[in-house]
Structure 1
Amino acid sequence: MMAHIRIRPNGRIQFDLHIYGQRFREGTKMLATPKNLAIAKSMLKTINAEIDLGTFKYREHFPDSKKVPLFEQLQRDKHPDHQYPFFDHFAEQWFSRQKGKWKTSYQNAVQNNLDKYLLPHFGNTLVNEISLAQVEHYRQRLMETTKADGARRLSNRRINNILWPLVAIVSLAAEEHKFDYPLRRYRALKEEKAESSPLTLEEVKRYLGAVDPQWKDYFLIRFWTGLRSCELHALQWQHIDFDHHLIHIRQNWVNGEVCDVKTPKSRRSLKLCDTLFDAFKRIQATQLLINDTNFVFTGEDGLPLDTHFVSKSLWYPTLKKAGLKRRRPYETRHTAAVLHIAAHENPLYVSQMLGHSDTKLLFEIYAPYVANASRTDGTAFSELMKSEGVTGK
């Protein structure tokens, strides 16, 4: 096994490697100038030394090469008696052991991170040979991935979510296979705080005035309650207590299935004010004419609404029609919080309405609106909206 360098007809330097009975050629963008040849020869010397010592890692020298998987598979086949497992094998075991603790939607998210990111890059690496430098280099590549317009494709939060299974897997492997944990000094990226952009009261009126009448009550309920999409779409008629004027939040609709709410605090009951009471009654009357379903909000297939459908077909087109700036559908939640505070509702009531564990998040995000909050039952908000003529009728 040996590596050489050669000059291609276009004058650029190429590495030519013969390893495991296979020839690997890796071109470079370096022209064969004296300076570049010196750099290439130094790299060649390192490669050959690593080949002699049995420590050569194709990925470290040619990280973007399409030949990396072939080399690593040949290396793996050549040395089947390694003391430690390969990352892909141990990751599969780890996932099998952990998935019972997670909801199906979270299982799918972790599996996607493994399949799309971690296994292609680390799969053929012995789990004890994954280094801090290797992880940080890979993370930097993820940070530098851009969209067509030059903007970052992955946020710090998304990258942290991609890499945490790697950290967990290597940590468990180090404990069970008795090797030094290499990621002790690893630190997650600092995550950016999402900028909220709630609608003003006037903008809410413009939005409800522009939305298709079929969906007016749907969005009115979003603006009034601050419910998450997954909570609203999972609502069944059994959760609407018309006798006691309550909405019971008990489940989510995620990836085509009903599951438990996100946290214990998310399991809550909201006051059904007159405006909401009337809205749900109108929906119920209309729905009975169309189909017989237990879910309050359904698509044409009779299943709960799909979040992507709401975003692409309803939310964004209506914003454009109303002449409002583009923002996430999640802003209906922020809007509900801001308008309740503006109506001088008690912050504790607003936090409970949103399903927060305490008022800390409310004060951090909406501090300018919290002053003088006093009431506790939601009537102030309802009266504010009525006085502005925003009732949904």
Structure 2
Amino acid sequence: MGKIVERPETGKLFFDFRYAGKRCREQTALDNTPANRKKLETILKRLEAEITLGSFEYHKYFPNSPVAQKFTKQADVQKAREAHDTPLFKEFSQDWAGEMKIQWRQSHASTIEGTLKNYLNPYFGEKEVGHITKKDILEFRASLAKVTTRSKKSLSASRINKIMTPLRMILSEAANRYEFSSPYHGIKSLKVPRTDVEPFSIEEVRQIIDTVRPDFRNYYTIRFFTGMRTGEIDGLQWEHVDFPRRQILVRQALVEGRLEYTKNDGSFRTIEMSQMVVDALTNQKRATGNMNFVFCTRTGGHISHHNITKRVWYPLLSHLGLRKRRPYQTRHTAATLWLASGESPEWIARQMGHTTTEMLFRVYSRFVPNLTRQDGSAFERLLRQNFDTTSSKASELKQLSEVTHAQ
């Protein structure tokens, strides 16, 4: 229950009451007299009655109070929510995508548009963003697990997470703008099983390069010994090949038939060319040196990696009796061969376009012992050299002691 209290330092009266679970104190300009106190107590009773009935409006009693502004804003938001005054998901998501598009690569924007069109809007489109619940989100995610692809396979956990990501971002932004708690809070991504990389051995690399069609020998030599991503090598242009410095400047990638800037800042890098890569590019320049793209069609257009994979790569692996692996494994192969040769991990990370060595050690370290035969033997040599020397010295001292005693 509230009360009227005198402020000792001024002798003025003030209201002391509780509202919305908080203690509120509002100063008046009235002196502490019986008449003024009775007047304020009457107002306090009416104020508390309105609080009980739920009709109290703070700003009507205390219009100049900073606290009033806070409670009024909260009340307006609540009223808007109760009056269904938040936009439909399909409208808000369209505005959100339009605002975000300027910072996305074209390929990413296309992916988001496809996700909205095929998954999010059909399910949430007619719901107001302020009325989507956690239960709605979990039910939607569960429904994705029942979706099958053209190849009759269920969506993977990784694919489901990618569909859910823009939903999380949209609801988070809507929550910030309309001041409600995001229903996505506390929902974790599905656990994605780790997939092993399957690099080729140096013997398999030699087989592939020696056997592949002559017009693709340079292409796969560069893939195996630079670690370039598919889009990076397919989008490589001669202006980014620096023969004098023996460097390849990775500045762009071919994504869905369009040249776009690199995947991230780390991908924007300089690759040092080995002699085999220099030789391969020198040979290639004789064939396509008058074109823009290093590897291109007869008319100078960009190549189609889907077509090359289907018509060249997989038939070649089948012909050689090698296990079927995606062309991207050429990038993993480059990393494991560099590690096996003893190159600096920091240098390898830069070549690969990684900002740190963390991924390098996490993904590739298990292949190093198999390639270098250094599975603990270096440590064994250290122990043997030190402890064998110590044992030898102990033996010499023992022999010297025996000779001394004999004398």
Give the TM-score normalised by the residue count of structure 2: 0.67
1:342 to 335, 340, 343: 340
* Cα distance in 1 for residues equivalent to 2:343 and 2:87: 58
Counterpart in 2 of 1:109? 111
Comparing 141-150 and 179-188, the one that deviates more: 141-150
Counterpart Cα distance in 2 of 1:228 and 1:148: 26
- Runs (5+) with no aligned partner, structure 1: 1-80, 375-393
Q: Cα distance, 1:156 vs. partner? A: 1.4
Paired residues of 1:345 and 1:373 also in contact (CA < 8 A): no
Distance in 2 between the 1:120 and 1:147 partners? 17
Classify the secondary structure of the residue corresponding to 1:264.
coil
Partner of 2:201: 200
Q: Which has the larger radius of gyration?
A: 2
Residue 180 of structure 1: aligned partner: 181
CA gap 1:372/1:124 in 2 versus in 1, 3 angstroms: closer
1:121–1:300: structure 2 CA closer, same or farther, 3 Å change rule?
farther
Q: What is the CA-CA distance between 1:347 and the residue it aligns to?
A: 1.5
Q: Specify the alignment match of 2:257 in structure 1.
A: 256
SS of aligned partner of 2:165: helix
Change (3 A) 1:118 1:147: closer
- Give the secondary structure class of the aligned counterpart of 2:194: coil
Q: Which amino acid aligns with 2:227?
A: G
CA contact under 8 A between 2:242 and 2:248: conserved in structure 1? yes
1:27-54 deviation line (CA, Å, top 9, x unaligned)? xxxxxxxxxxxxxxxxxxxxxxxxxxxx
Structural mapping, 1:151-170, within 5 Å: 152-170=153-171
Q: Which residue of 2 aligns with 1:143?
A: 145
Amino acid corresponding to residue 273 of structure 1 in structure 2: S
Q: 1:90 aligns with which of 77, 88, 92?
A: 92
Residue 149 to residue 236, structure 1, CA distance change in 2 (3 Å): closer
1:344 and 1:373 in contact (8 A); partners too: no
C-alpha distance 325-372 of structure 1, shift in aligned 2 (>3 A):
closer
Partner amino acid, structure 1, of 2:281: F
% identical equivalent positions: 34
Q: Give the partner amino acid of 1:183.
A: Y
Contact 1:247 1:269 (C-alpha < 8 Å) held by counterparts: yes
Contact (CA 8 Å) 2:228, 2:352: kept in 1 or not? Answer: yes
Q: CA deviation at 1:89?
A: 0.6
User: Partners in 2 of 1:233 and 1:193 — Cα distance?
Assistant: 27
Q: Secondary structure at the match of 1:253?
A: strand
Matching residue of 1:229:
230
Output the CA distance in 2 between the equivalents of 1:221 and 1:82.
59
The residue number in structure 1 matching 2:319 is: 321
**Matched residue, 2:349:** 351
| Cα distance in 1 between the residues matched to 2:154 and 2:202 | 33
Return the alpha-carbon distance in structure 2 between the equivalents of residues 116 and 307 of structure 1.
26
- The one-letter code sitting in structure 2 at the alignment partner of 1:340 is W
Amino acid across the alignment from 1:264:
D
Matched position secondary structure for 1:259: strand
CA distance in 1, matches of 2:141, 2:126: 18
Determine the structure 2 residue equivalent to 1:67: none
Q: Equivalent residues in 2 for 1:356-371 (5 A)?
A: 356-370=354-368
SS across alignment from 1:266: coil
SS at match of 2:210: helix
Q: Is 1:344–1:372's contact at 8 Å kept on the other side of the alignment?
A: no
Q: Is the 8 A contact 2:149 2:155 kept in 1?
A: no
- Separation of aligned partners in 1, 2:151 and 2:281: 43
**Alpha-carbon shift at residue 300 of structure 1 (Å):** 4.0
Say if 1:236 and 1:296, in contact at 8 Å, map to a contact too: yes
Q: Is the 8 A contact 1:199 1:331 kept in 2?
A: yes
Task: Identify if the C-alpha distance between structure 1 residues 263 and 96 changes in structure 2 by more than 3 Å, giving closer, same or farther.
Answer: same
**Cα distance in structure 1, aligned partners of 2:371 and 2:310:** 36
Q: CA deviation at 1:147?
A: 5.3
Structure 1 residues 235 and 134, CA gap change in structure 2 (3 angstroms): same
TM-score, normalised relative to structure 1: 0.69
Q: Distance in 2 between matches of 1:301 and 1:163?
A: 42
Change over 3 Å in CA distance of 1:149–1:269 after alignment to 2: closer
- Which sits farther off after the overlay, 81-90 or 118-127? 81-90
Find the aligned partners of 1:269 and 1:169 in 2 and give their Cα distance.
Answer: 36
For 1:309, which of 295, 302, 307 is the aligned residue?
Answer: 307
Match of 1:24 in 2: none
Contact 2:141 2:160 in 1 (8 A): yes
Query: Contact 1:226 / 1:354 at 8 angstroms: preserved in 2?
Result: yes
CA deviations on 1:256-310 (whole Å, 9 max, x unpaired) are 222211222212222222211111111110225xxx4211011245222222223
Q: How many residues align?
A: 290
Contact 2:112–2:166 under 8 Å retained in 1:
yes
CA distance in 2, matches of 1:337, 1:293: 30
- Tell me the C-alpha RMSD between the 2 structures: 2.2
- 2:130 counterpart residue number: 128
Q: Which amino acid aligns with 1:309?
A: N
Cα distance change, pair 246–345 in 1 and its aligned pair in 2 (3 A):
same
Give me the whole-angstrom Cα distance separating, in 1, the residues matched to 2:278 and 2:157. 42
Name 2:272's counterpart in structure 1. 271
The more displaced of 235-244 and 170-179 is: 170-179
Q: Which runs of 5+ in 2 are unaligned?
A: 1-82, 373-407
Name the counterpart of 2:17. none
| Cα displacement (A) at 1:311 | 2.0
Amino acid at match of 1:294: N
